[in-house]
Structure 1
Amino acid sequence: MTQPTSTSERPLSPHVSIYRWPITMAMSIAHRVSGGALYFGTVFLVIWLAGIACGEEAFNKISFIYSSFIGRTVLLLYTLALVHHMVGGVRHLFWDVKTSLLQKQCATGTAWATVGISIVLTLAVWIVAYVLR
């Protein structure tokens, strides 16, 4: 019985660092990551609600932290995760209703649309939030 050598005839898979991700794969991963981010981001929502329940002083302290640069960045990313996950969920819902949308060209188009719609809706939410302030 012969031992396999490093110069065997079997082809090697491309390494992750040189493999180009299709947008559909990237959106699948982004949907999962945004779902996970929502778990952690919801902690900030609970802290804010607890601040409201604990009184004006606690609420003012939490509002001060959330209005800092880091706080606003976290809230922006939370909003992006929430919107992206929602848009991705709607995309999946359409796939369930109309399976012809799963064809490669259409799936690629809807993946890019998911990116664009997520960014536009996130910016719209933040613009409306600043206008209504």
Structure 2
Amino acid sequence: MTDASRAPRERPMSPHLSVWRWHITMLTSILHRATGVALYVGALIGAAWAVSLASGPEAYSTFQGLLGSPLGLVVMFGLTWSVFYHLANGIRHVVWDLGHGLDVKSANASAVLVIAFACAATLAVWAIAFMTGAL
């Protein structure tokens, strides 16, 4: 027979935000999920673009006016950043799937690289758009 007591044990704490300290790989995980959701919204905007294009010139000019508004430009800027971030972080995950970059130092460095790439690529695309008169 065992000598275990029948008294209720104290349950372990859940790894909540008050227990864990923030680190960059936690941020990149959350941002990957958030940008995935943002890309779904972007797909809906793309579908709305196609519907407005098929609906005629008046509907299309209304859609262009909406996306050309300050709020529309902010949304499009965010979608641009989401595309580049999700792309770079997806490549990072493929590298991890191959068994590389899993140590803490490499994971932190690749997280910084992913965020830096997303910011630089987004700014480059928008700078080119402004320089060519696309906006």
Taking structure 1 as reference, are residues 47 and 14 closer, same or farther at Cα in structure 2, changes over 3 Å only?
A: closer
| Match of residue 96 from structure 2 | 95
Cα deviation, residue 26, structure 1: 1.2
Taking structure 1 as reference, are residues 11 and 18 closer, same or farther at Cα in structure 2, changes over 3 Å only?
A: closer
Cα deviation, residue 120, structure 1: 0.6
| Match of residue 79 from structure 2 | 78
| Match of residue 115 from structure 1 | 115
SS in 1 for 2:21: coil
TM-score by length of 2: 0.82
Cα deviation, residue 19, structure 1: 3.9
Output the CA distance in 2 between the equivalents of 1:93 and 1:14.
27
**What is the aligned-residue RMSD (CA, Å)?**
2.0
What does 1:1-133 correspond to in 2, within 5 Å?
12=13, 16-17=17-18, 19-97=20-98, 99-132=99-132, 133=134
Could you list the structure 1 runs, at least 4 aligned residues long, displaced by more than 3 angstroms after superposition: 1-4, 10-15
Ranges in structure 2 where 5+ consecutive residues have no aligned partner: 1-5
Taking structure 1 as reference, are residues 3 and 102 closer, same or farther at Cα in structure 2, changes over 3 Å only?
A: closer
Cα deviation, residue 53, structure 1: 1.6
Identity, % of aligned positions: 34
Output the CA distance in 2 between the equivalents of 1:120 and 1:129.
14
Instruction: Kindly provide the CA deviation profile for residues 2-28 of structure 1, in whole angstroms up to 9, marking residues without a partner as x.
Output: 567xxx7x7756752574211112111
Count of aligned residue pairs for this structure pair: 128
